[in-house]
Structure 1
Amino acid sequence: MKTRLLITCAAAATVATASACTSQAPDEDAFVAPPWVPVSAQLAAFDSCDDALAGIQDAAITAFSNWEPNELLRSDEEFAADSGAASTESQPQAASDDAFSGTNNAVAGVDEPDIVKTDGTFIYSVVDYDAVRVVDTRSGEVVAERAIADEAWDHKLFLGDDELLLMSALSVEDGDEYVSEFRLERLDPASLDVLDTFTMEGSMVDARLVDGEVRLAIGSQPQIQPVWEQLWSGDVSDDDIAEAVRDTELSDWLPSYEVNGEAHEVDCAEIAHPERFTGASVSVLALPADGDWTEASPQTVMVDGSTVHGTTDSLYLAHYDYAWGEDETNAESEIYRFVFADGKARLAGEAAVPGTLLNQYSLSEYDGHLRVATTEQASGGNCGVWNDCAWEVAPDEPSEPSKSTVTVFAVGDDALEETGSVTDLGVDEQIYAVRFIGDTGYVVTFRQTDPLYTIDLSDPANPVVTGELKITGYSGYLHPVGPDRLLGVGQEATAEGQTTGLQVSLFDTAASEATMLDQYHREGADSAVQWDPHAFLYWEDAAIAVIPVSDWDMEYGSGVVVLDVGADTLTEAAWIDHSDAGADPYNTQVLRTLVIGDQLWTLSNAGLQANHLGGDYASTAWVGWQ
């Protein structure tokens, strides 16, 4: 597959320099690069389609000035991989004899896409990139199976009342190159027959299912092959690039889409843009989960947003923007709020915060306010929280150390207005985990030790840090496990910050500062929960946490550890793995865990296994895929 350029936030880093862009099209005045604008989230609409094309071209010419190929390059596969008064935080699941668990969602009532779903009788899964399968848990048999095309990947599912929704990323041949395409299919859950199809150029940023409505955020990159060829020729002037950009059409920059085979284009009137942008876009839209799709109404924003947080009323899209100046580095995350009415998304508020977000748990809407946790990296490190830069740029002089901030905004009908903030959390560290529960926030930062900050958010105008618990290691995921109890999943570490293995911590959060009650440690191991919360299960009725483990201590092994969560203790109750499947050990890694009635089901690329819930956790069934 051909590698293609993605205009990412790295482009913005090369764009907003102090010098003006010297590129110009023939017979046109030089286009001057817009300066860095703090709080640049304010969006504007184009006056016409011609105005939209000219504006996008101007922004792209600026973005391509002084570009460095190695700084901007990412493949389509890498792009796809990134990818009320009451509290809306998801609460622990209660159980009864016929109860079953769902996806570990961030917000109650807002379902997130995952590789497995269940209705308590059937388990629907899409693993190993080869098929969608339906297993009847009563008989332990695969009752429906549908193969998936080889060119598709990154499969996710939603389960509605009477429909199964399959989302996939595809590589689609377009002339001499391949482009990324997002596909959403509505399937009959019994037969897996396709009932409706929606496709759009690009890749899914994220999605939510709320009250029978699928809300999508799809990121797209422009299809401007002649410009890429100019940029990669190795001998090209700003004027040559500008001329190639001026030869593009609006359809080259905006994604096309199809609804049940009928082609559509994004409406020029539905395009919004910040003052500084690069040419990438994110389209937000909604479709009814019960199908009968005939049209869609995307709202397209000219940003390359990568983080989505959904509530019952809102969908928040966060976009990271930064620039190297002559004297200092500027960086912020721009946040756009969308609301939905009659199946259409509407932009309903914009804001900006300093630094980067870790993930969707860095955002929380509660009691009419949005809380946002971010980390500002030291100059030379504004490449994301994991410092995974593809380029090396460093200032000549040392600058301020990193720090983290929690900012609070009042959520209005059409605006996000900052009310207060608290900063200087974890100076010279970065955020590893965030959890907002009611009017309290918990933030973990780490470099050598793990400060767990407790933040009182009851007064939106005056957030206050009330506690700072320091222990070795860190938590990469935080989960409430009952009143005044918080569970952290992460890594133990030495006093120098060297990680040593999986650590699960139980915290008492009743006081203004959290205290540590007990810990579980597994030397040389880690857990996908640290970066994928969907892998975590807490089952309230049995008071157990089920955590997938990859163990590298001696030789590779994997499974799940079942922990009994007491009032002040953590105790290993069982270890469950799929080693008896006889498959490659990497193929038997447990990816997800579900509770259905009195059975604990574990899912891997090799199959599904049932164990009795409680007691000795004896195996009761195996459903293999081969």
Structure 2
Amino acid sequence: MKPRLLIACASAAVVAAAGACTSQSPDNEVAPVPWVPVSAQLAAFDSCDDALEGIQDAAITAFENFDFNESIPLEEEFAAGDSAAGTTAESPTQRAGDDSHSGTNNAVAGVDEPDIVKTDGTFIYTVADYDAVRVTDTRSGEVVAERPTESEAWGHQLFLGDDELLLMSALSTEDDGVYLSEFRLERLDPTSLDVLDSFTMEGSMVDARLVDGEVRLAIGTEPQIQPVWDQLYSGDASDEDLAEAVRDTELADWLPSYEVNGSAQEVDCAEIAHPERFTGSSVSVLALPADGAWTEAAPHTVMVDGSMVHGTSESLYLAHYDYAWGEEETKAESEIYRFTFADGQARLVGEAAVPGTLLNQYSLSEYDGHLRVATTEMPAGGGCGPWMDCIWGGETEESGEPSKSTVTVFAVGDDSLEETGSVTDLGVDEQIYAVRFLGDTGYVVTFRQTDPLYTVDLSDPANPVVTGELKITGYSGYLHPVGPDRLLGVGQEATAEGQTTGLQVSLFDTAADEAAVLDQYYREGSDSTVLYDPHAFLYWDEASIAVIPVQDWDMEYQSGVVVLGIGADSLTEETWIDHSAADVDPYNTQIMRTIVIGSQLWTLSNAGLQSNRLGGDYEYTAWIGW
């Protein structure tokens, strides 16, 4: 694999080494590309030579415009979607039965997301503790297959197909003293865990989806080129030196190499697209059949720093964050690219741009032929964002325009995304903490000191309208439908000044134009991983329960899950479950996932699996330690 370098020079080591950059010489002068609002329009290169020159120009311009003494504005890229055009946009309701089982808490019905645990109702497949893939037979309570993972691999996730288990991971490799990142997808026999097929590509996974037997991948690559790296670490590199090093590169230095079952293949330069401004980083979108027999892949590569994916049954949306380099006034937008798939080929079929940044995949929703997007525009100076409760004491600057949030609607055409309408000025001086689109209604939570839960009527795509603004203390960081006209919010309670105090779960009545609070559950000094990882949340409709992982920090550390009974207008704590029976480090027993299989509630931690009888007193029934 080729050594690569993040062209934007965002790491602290690069910033320290490159502070001496000066202006370019005329020999390598490249006209800077100015900030162009709504610049999502992509273009193809005319030839491979044109592609190389265009990428080199973009990289040199990025060096010229990067201020090594200031930090880069960060995109709010936490994860970590709805459904295809013409269908509903809600999560599947998980119902119980004699042999029923829950699945991953996916955002879109029929569109599976990678996770650390999967089940077919009999076997539980896990890769939770990063040292092995395990298959547990829930009938015998025994681990029936186990395969160690390499120490260099991390970020393991799984898909479960009809007759295959798909293992994704990031692999750290070393080439002449340079450490590289490589994405790897392996198709495993679910019984023996033997490798049946493999695919590797330079870079790391942005995200993936499994739809109708097809694995759809978005893999990001940040180029590292040793001569450029050497110039940066010399400590006295000028822009001329850097430009000369960039001009000495070849196209293969910029495009990710990949292998299918050990056979090396290359990205076709005819399959490269780029916006007006880019840095040299790229995202490759491709599809592979889940049932294997892989011989080749056909990546479509876009020269963007994509960091978020939203998947539907027909589409995959890639979001890319762009901001004004070197401008005094903060300017930023999120560019969105839509891909469809046919015969294993990814095709770019639409582009759009929205002001500001997206929170996560729930900020996007495709419904009834329209894409809805929720974003926040932040003022200069930044501030405290989701998952960061002012831990450095930072506050949004009072000068300049205040923050605000917007919902924008686009008509989804065969080859286009055309804006039809928008509504803005949601949460002025605040920012989005949670979004959920359900049918033709959107729910948007913004927060700074109090939590307005906005209800947005999207039934007329040309005229979105805010119909309600419920204000309560604290905020919801994740929203989930729990029945007709009922919405559950998992978040934090807060003081009137915005200081968070503990876990808060709210049950909302959404029947009217403005939501109303029916009941709340509060746990002082606690937090939940659900706020940044929705896969940790379980709603089981038949039993009318929500299972939420909890970490208590109030007096002394403890972790487990709280099982909440959801009534028509009430929340009741039914039980607390933890893995204290395991004689291991308590920090290793944090419950990460919950699964229902038949009459059993299974909980997963790095220490093992535990089952409790579903309902009643939730009797402990089994422990399977690793």
Tell me, yes or no, if the aligned pair for 1:404 and 1:430 is still in contact at 8 Å.
yes
Distance (whole Å) between structure 2 residues aligned to residue 362 and residue 608 of structure 1: 33
Relative to structure 1, the CA distance from residue 432 to residue 80 in structure 2 (aligned partners, 3 Å threshold; closer, same or farther) is closer
- What is aligned with 1:60? 59
Gaps of 5+ in 2: 16-21
Inter-partner Cα distance in structure 1 for 2:383 and 2:324: 9
Worse-matched range after superposition: 63-72 or 543-552: 63-72
Q: CA RMSD in A?
A: 2.6
Aligned positions of 1:76-225 closer than 5 A: 84-225=85-226
Residue 326 to residue 124, structure 1, CA distance change in 2 (3 Å) = closer
Alpha-carbon distance change, 101 to 115 in structure 1, aligned in 2, over 3 angstroms? same
| Equivalences, count | 610
Closer, same or farther in 2 for the Cα pair 1:395/1:582, shift >3 Å? closer
Counterpart Cα distance in 2 of 1:525 and 1:367? 39
**CA, structure 1 residues 330+25, in 2 after alignment: closer, same or farther (shift >3 Å)?**
same
Question: What does residue 368 of structure 2 align with?
Answer: 367
| Distance of aligned partners of 1:388 and 1:265 in 2 relative to their CA distance in 1, 3 Å threshold | farther
SS of the residue 1:294 aligns to: coil
Deviations 1:364-394 (A, max 9, x none): 0000000000000011218976679999999
The residue number in structure 2 matching 1:17 is none
Per-residue Cα deviation, 1:501-549 (whole angstroms, up to 9, x for no partner): 0000000000000000000000000000000000000000000000000
Output the CA distance in 1 between the equivalents of 2:258 and 2:185: 11
The yes-or-no answer on 1:43 pairing with 2:42 is: yes
Q: Deviations 1:173-215 (Å, cap 9, x if unpaired)?
A: 1222110000000000000000000000000000000000000
User: d(CA) in 2 for partners of 1:439 and 1:91?
Assistant: 17
Corresponding position of 1:461:
462
Change (3 A) 1:234 1:389: farther
Work out whether 1:535 is the aligned partner of 2:562.
no
Contact 1:70–1:391 (CA under 8 A) maintained in structure 2: no
Question: Kindly tell me: are residues 68 and 447 of structure 1, through their superposed partners in 2, closer, same or farther at Cα, counting changes over 3 Å?
Answer: same
1:525 corresponds in structure 2 to 526
Do 1:80 and 1:204's aligned partners in 2 also have CA atoms closer than 8 Å? no
For 2:439, the equivalent position in structure 1 comes to: 438
C-alpha deviation, 1:86, in angstroms: 2.2
Q: Post-superposition shift, 1:55?
A: 0.2
> 1:620 deviation in Å?
0.6
**How many Å separate the matches in 1 of 2:76 and 2:376?**
23
Contact 1:332/1:354 (8 A) holds in 2? yes
CA distance 1:153–1:388, shift in 2 (3 Å): farther
Tell me if structure 1 keeps the 8 A contact 2:436–2:480.
yes
- The AA in structure 2 aligned to 1:38 is P
CA distance in 2, matches of 1:299, 1:310: 16
Q: Give 2:19's aligned residue.
A: none
Change (3 A) 1:245 1:55: same
Alpha-carbon distance in structure 2 between the residues aligned to 1:239 and 1:383: 38
Q: Which one has more relative contact order, counting CA pairs under 8 Å at least 6 apart?
A: 2
Maintained 8 Å contact 1:187/1:196: yes
Could you tell me how far 1:22 is from its partner in structure 2?
4.9
Aligned equivalents of 1:196, 1:281: Cα separation in 2: 25
Q: Which residue of 2 aligns with 1:304?
A: 305
Q: Distance in 1 between matches of 2:239 and 2:459?
A: 53
Residue 471 (structure 2) aligns with: 470
Query: Which SS does the other structure have where 1:50 is aligned?
Result: helix
Q: What residue in structure 1 maps to residue 18 of structure 2?
A: none
Contact 2:77 2:308 in 1 (8 A): no
**Per the alignment, do residues 598 and 411 of structure 1 end up closer, same or farther by CA in structure 2, a change over 3 Å counting?**
same
What's the secondary structure of 1:239's corresponding residue?
Answer: helix
Superposed, which structure 2 residues align to 1:401-440 within 5 Å? 401-440=402-441
In 2: Cα distance, 1:315 partner to 1:257 partner? 21
User: Within 2, Cα distance between the matches of 1:395 and 1:522?
Assistant: 29
Is the Cα contact below 8 Å between 1:80 and 1:203 reproduced in 2?
no
1: CA distance between counterparts of 2:458 and 2:610?
43
**3-state DSSP of counterpart to 2:588:** coil
Change (3 A) 1:525 1:435: same
Contact residue 23 and residue 61 of structure 1 kept, 8 A: no
Contact 1:356–1:374 (CA<8 Å) still a contact in 2?
A: yes
Rounded Cα–Cα distance in structure 1 between residues aligned with 2:357 and 2:601: 37
Does the CA-based 8 Å contact 1:373-1:404 persist in structure 2?
yes
Structure 1 residues 147, 242: closer, same or farther in 2, change over 3 A? same
Does the CA-based 8 Å contact 2:384-2:394 persist in structure 1? no
Distance 1:354 1:107, change over 3 A: same
* Residue 279 in structure 1 maps to residue 277 in structure 2: no
Maintained 8 Å contact 1:455/1:465? yes
**Matched residues in 2 for 1:31 and 1:337: separation?**
31
- Asked if the contact 1:5–1:72 (Cα under 8 Å) also holds between the matched residues in 2, the reply is no
Q: Distance in 2 between matches of 1:389 and 1:263?
A: 47
Which sections of structure 1, spanning at least 5 residues, go unmatched?
Answer: 15-20
Give the direction of change, closer, same or farther, for the CA distance of 1:456–1:396 in structure 2 (3 Å limit): closer
Structure 2: which amino acid aligns with 1:133? R
SS at match of 1:186: strand
Give identity over the alignment, percent: 80
Whole-angstrom CA distance in 1 between matches of 2:122 and 2:150: 27
Once the two structures are superposed, the pairs formed by residues 335-346 of structure 1 within 5 Å of their partners are 335-346=336-347
The verdict on how the C-alpha distance between 1:180 and 1:326 changes in structure 2, with shifts beyond 3 A counting, is closer
Q: Alpha carbons of 1:393 and 1:9: their partners in 2 closer, same or farther (altered >3 Å)?
A: farther
- Measure the CA separation in 2 of the matches of 1:335 and 1:282: 13
Q: 1:322–1:79: structure 2 CA closer, same or farther, 3 Å change rule?
A: closer
**Paired residue type of 1:6:** L
Query: Any residues of structure 2 matched to 1:348-387 within 5 Å, and which?
Result: 348-381=349-382
Separation in 1, partners of 2:586, 2:395: 42
Q: Could you state the TM-score of these two structures normalised by the residue count of structure 2?
A: 0.93
- Distance change in 2, residues 1:204/1:450 (3 Å): same
Q: Counterpart of 2:586 in 1: which secondary structure?
A: coil
Which residue of 1 is the match for residue 6 of structure 2? Answer: 6
